[in-house]
Structure 1
Amino acid sequence: MNLLKIIDPFTLTLIITVLLATFFPATGMWVGFFDGLTTAAIALLFFMHGAKLSRAAIIAGSSHWRLHLWVMCSTFILFPVLGVLFSWWAPVDVSPEIYAGFLYLCILPATVQSAIAFTSLAGGNVAAAVCSASASSLLGVFLSPLLVGLVMHVHGASGSLQQVGSIMLQLLVPFVLGHLSRPWTGNFVARHKKWIGKTDQSSILLVVYTAFSEAVTHGIWHKVGAGTLLFIVVVSLVLLAIVITVNTLVARRAGFSKADEITIVFCGSKKSLANGIPMANILFPAATVGILVLPLMIFHQIQLMVCAVLARRYKRQTMAAAEQESTLAAKR
């Protein structure tokens, strides 16, 4: 099978962006320029997120409180516990920043777009996915920096509260403004979904370039070799497999429907690159951001590839179940 067909175009673009930052990092006066441009791009990104989220979708999905409760537990309890245990275990001698990066990854909220997209593709409960993924993203603005201060021992409590304020200003305020602007922007957003998707990706790429430019100037590739990259890939696969397995077992033992199980699996196993990198720029020293977000970047691509395969499998199952039900109904 052609490797280019397995890796999605955004993944390839992300790799090219990292290479661009490696060979042509922003230095001198360009550092301030890209910092300002990145802040503006992230504000636009979250403004568009808010504009895309309809009030009807929130109301339709909000009644599934048991589903949302478990997704929040998976995102903000199960993942962090696994991250803490892994960092404490530290089975391989790699840079401490790599373990810190995995711990940071585990603290982050879920994605919004890909969780909803995979749930829809697999035949899950899309309304609940919209509500659950959006709630996770919003809660992450408050919980993730507090968990960083609590678990990673990077900042004191007062510092974490200050960072919550900074993150709210940069991420939550544009999101709320975007949502409030829906009467004027809703139709535009609906008509230009493809263009807005490109805006999302461009914002992330800009943040990645800025973060890696800073990391390259501080010698990231002297700390990270091929063995470390392979280690990150293996750990990401194991971490994702554990979380998907736990979510699947919980959904089935708790008596959720197949559609709700799909929603739990895809909303409870994702970690957001769009939230994670901007937060890292606020929470950590600029010199360490590049290496800290490396596990997140690799995990993000792996979760997309694994969940694409899983979504197609779920789709076959739901289609087969629908055909069987249709056949039984015809016999009656």
Structure 2
Amino acid sequence: MSFIDKLRANWFLLGIIIVIVSAKFNPEIGKKGGILKPEVTVKYVAVSVIFFNSGLSLKTEELMKALFNGKLHIFVQCFTLMFIPCFMQAIVAALQLSSINNWLLKGLLVVGCMPPPVSSAVILTKAVGGSEASAIFNSAFGSFLGIFVTPLLILHVVGVSTEVPVVAIFSTLAMTVVVPLLLGQLVRWCIRDWIQRASIPFGPIGSAILLYIIYTTFCDTFSHGEGLLSMGDILPIGITVFCIQVVLLSLTFLLCTRGPVAFSPADIVAAMFCATHKSLTLGIPMLKIIYHGDPHLSLISLPLLIYHPTQILLGSSLVPSIRKWMLRAQHRKSTLSGI
């Protein structure tokens, strides 16, 4: 793969860096009350468009294929929305003895509360050759659960430092997240055949809007006089995020292969990625709503911004090894069943 091809493949990761640097140099454009009016264009328009786009792209018929694999779904959702938040609390409690910025530690707690993503877990499962239908169901169902569970987890585990009432948070989430998502599904049901023929680039559209949200978030931060964190602040969080993902992937694999639950090799692959990955697409807009007006929002968001590319890069590097294991496991299972 050439350098240009690599840039194209990782344009979103490059875009995150560009928008943060751009926000640093001229934060007046995207700050609250600035030219772009993010208090309207982000809070009401961009977030709603992201979830309408998600609802429009979600293939309901594919979710039905994996609907009855209940044991796998319970394991994935409990692991990602119950175990990981508790695990992150233990990690943060230990890290509070270090010199890591307290708002970054709060960001780690926020990461633990996030649901699985709709895209990366499915893409990596498909790349390995695992159960794509199970990955699609758990990612989509987890994201839908996250609309209701994640805000409750964040408010309970992390809390908010602003005066935003809980009722206002959930009413805003309902109007800008739930309604657009359901509306997108309704529109998809009405024009499903046209959508399949049109090949609309739902992924890039959602990613581009997400970059706009990230840009305005950091503009608001830098306009308050907060500079970029030093490498001494960012590096420990980056290393921590990498180690956390390695531990979670290993633990998921051990539980699925040696624990009391017995899944097929293809389902184990789906579980590894769906249970350990966290959604940036759902996370950033939600944080924008929950921590609206909080000057520390970008610091709280940073661990999630680090977690997203790390899970993609780590998962991609493990694809060949996991594929070899899955093929051997499937061969061994077919051989034993034939005896």
Both structures adopt the same fold (TM-score exceeding 0.5): yes
Summarize the Cα distance change of 1:75–1:160 in structure 2 as closer, same or farther, 3 Å threshold.
farther
Summarize the Cα distance change of 1:193–1:299 in structure 2 as closer, same or farther, 3 Å threshold.
farther
Q: CA deviation at 1:31?
A: 5.4
Summarize the Cα distance change of 1:13–1:193 in structure 2 as closer, same or farther, 3 Å threshold.
farther
Moved more, 103-112 or 163-172: 163-172
Match of 2:226 in 1: 220
Q: Using the alignment, how far apart are the partners of 1:144 and 1:31 within structure 2?
A: 31
Aligned with residue 302 of structure 1, among 298, 310, 328:
310
Match of 2:322 in 1: 314
Q: Quick check: 1:35 aligned with 2:39? A: yes
Secondary structure of the corresponding residue to residue 117 of structure 2 = coil
Summarize the Cα distance change of 1:28–1:70 in structure 2 as closer, same or farther, 3 Å threshold.
closer
Q: CA deviation at 1:148?
A: 1.5
After superposition, give the CA deviation of every residue in 1:2-60 in whole Å (9 maximum; x if it has no partner): 99849822111111111111112124753562333323222122112112223322221
Secondary structure of the corresponding residue to residue 34 of structure 2 = helix
Letter aligned with residue 168 of structure 1? A
Moved more, 163-172 or 313-322: 313-322
After superposition, give the CA deviation of every residue in 1:224-264 in whole Å (9 maximum; x if it has no partner): 21111101110101111111111111111222111010010
Q: CA deviation at 1:192?
A: 4.6
Q: Using the alignment, how far apart are the partners of 1:200 and 1:117 within structure 2?
A: 16
Moved more, 65-74 or 33-42: 33-42
After superposition, give the CA deviation of every residue in 1:164-209 in whole Å (9 maximum; x if it has no partner): 2221211111111111112333234334546222201111100100
Q: CA deviation at 1:122?
A: 1.0
Secondary structure of the corresponding residue to residue 98 of structure 2 = coil
After superposition, give the CA deviation of every residue in 1:95-118 in whole Å (9 maximum; x if it has no partner): 210110110111111100111111
Secondary structure of the corresponding residue to residue 287 of structure 1 = coil
For the 8 Å contact 1:220–1:290, the answer to whether it is kept is: no
Q: Using the alignment, how far apart are the partners of 1:23 and 1:320 within structure 2?
A: 53
Q: Quick check: 1:260 aligned with 2:267? A: yes
Secondary structure of the corresponding residue to residue 168 of structure 1 = helix
Q: Quick check: 1:275 aligned with 2:282? A: yes
Aligned with residue 130 of structure 2, among 107, 124, 129:
124
Secondary structure of the corresponding residue to residue 220 of structure 1 = coil
Q: Quick check: 1:184 aligned with 2:190? A: yes
Letter aligned with residue 299 of structure 2? I
Q: CA deviation at 1:128?
A: 1.3
Number of residue pairs matched by the alignment: 328
Secondary structure of the corresponding residue to residue 268 of structure 1 = helix
Q: Quick check: 1:207 aligned with 2:209? A: no
Aligned with residue 232 of structure 1, among 229, 232, 237:
237
Letter aligned with residue 95 of structure 1? N
Moved more, 297-306 or 24-33: 24-33
Secondary structure of the corresponding residue to residue 111 of structure 2 = helix
Q: CA deviation at 1:161?
A: 4.2
Structure 2: any 5+ residue segments left out of the alignment?
Answer: none
**Percentage of pairs with the same residue:** 25
Q: Quick check: 1:289 aligned with 2:297? A: yes
Moved more, 317-326 or 208-217: 317-326
TM-score, structure 2 normalization: 0.88
TM-score, structure 1 normalization: 0.89
For the 8 Å contact 1:133–1:267, the answer to whether it is kept is: yes
For the 8 Å contact 1:71–1:268, the answer to whether it is kept is: yes
Aligned with residue 255 of structure 2, among 235, 250, 259:
250
| Greater helix share, structure number | 1
Structure 1: any 5+ residue segments left out of the alignment?
Answer: none
Letter aligned with residue 169 of structure 1? M
Letter aligned with residue 320 of structure 2? R
Summarize the Cα distance change of 1:325–1:109 in structure 2 as closer, same or farther, 3 Å threshold.
closer
